[in-house]
Amino acid sequence: MTHVAFALLMLAAAAARAAQPAVTYPDKPVRMVVPFVAGASYDTVARIVAQPLSEAWQQQIVIDNRPGASGIIGANLIAKAAPDGYTLGMFGNNQLITSAVNPNLPYNFLADFTPVARVAILDSVIVVNPALPTRSLKELIALLKENPGKYYYGSGGVAGAPHLATERFKAIAGVNVVHVPYKGGGLAVTGLVSNEVQMMILNMLSVEQQVKAGRLRALAVAAKKRSPLLPDIPTAEEAGLPGYESSQWYGIVAPAHLPKMVLDKLSAELKRIAARPDIKAKMATQGADAMYESAQEFAAYLAQDMAATRKTAAAAGVQPE
């Protein structure tokens, strides 16, 4: 081997080593991109997970809120980042739904990210304005069937989680209720409280205090079991609508091609965190259940949920704004 060839070989080996994360990963702060504003449920879950990660690794986990364009701006930032473990992201239903209904995104949801682990599930609640003469889910469905197109439901925007959740409710219940998209979930809840719209399907974090204050009436929790935050509210199946479930999930992702060593270390730490009683308690205060789902399980879930969401969106004629 010539000196030139040997030098080139050494340079190539050095470049390869530089492209790989250090064995001591992480040896500097890690950025966790949240594609929504501070204070939103994504941000809350991200901070609950980031704190014990930071403590375990003795490295700062920097929460980087990048809202805008229904989460597309933040998601694209993650997709384009180096796959070295120093840029992570907090994803949920909204990223998947946006990708399911919009073929013109700057990234491919299933190809451009490494699913690391699902870490939390937040149950949804079927709520109505108290002025509506219904005190049960069966009464609501009967009222909507008797008055097709008369009543309205709100959401934080077209093709968001509440929109798709209610379209699925409509299909299963066989009712016709008109969609009113607001420019944000907070405005939609305000519209429901003021009776501009009469019903919504929202995550527990968004409705718990409104229900307890009497400003909204909860008719059912769209989950397999009742919520400890609203223990008197039946599940949808108990309330007479079997087969209907709706929850928001939250998961950690990274850019595609994340090295296995980094993925394994992240996964092991997240599994340990999800089992901690204090983390379970913190998630519970937000109406969420802490969970751990491996990278392989998470990837399989995303593929399955993407197919189901595309089917629901197509049946409802949902198009991106």
What is the structure's pLDDT at 157? Answer: 84
Domains present along the chain, CATH in parentheses: 3-119+249-316 (3.40.190.150), 123-221 (3.40.190.10)
- Residue ranges of the chain with per-residue pLDDT less than 50: 4-10, 14-19, 21-22
Neighbours of 131 (CB within 10 A): 8
Size (the chain), residues = 321
Which among 156, 185, 205, 200 has a CA at the least distance from the CA of 44? 205
Residue in the structure block whose two tokens are 């599930």: 121
pLDDT of residue 7: 45
Looking at residue 1, its pLDDT comes to: 53
**What is the end-to-end Cα distance of the chain in Å, rounded?**
61
Predicted pLDDT of residue 23: 60
Helix, strand or coil, per DSSP, at residue 276: coil
Q: What are the residue ranges of helices labelled H in the chain? A: 3-19, 41-57, 72-80, 93-101, 137-146, 161-173, 185-193, 204-212, 260-274, 277-285, 295-316
Angstrom distance (rounded) from CA 195 to CA 216: 10
Q: CA–CA separation, 312 vs 227, rounded Å?
A: 26
Q: H-helix or E-strand containing 253?
A: strand 247-255
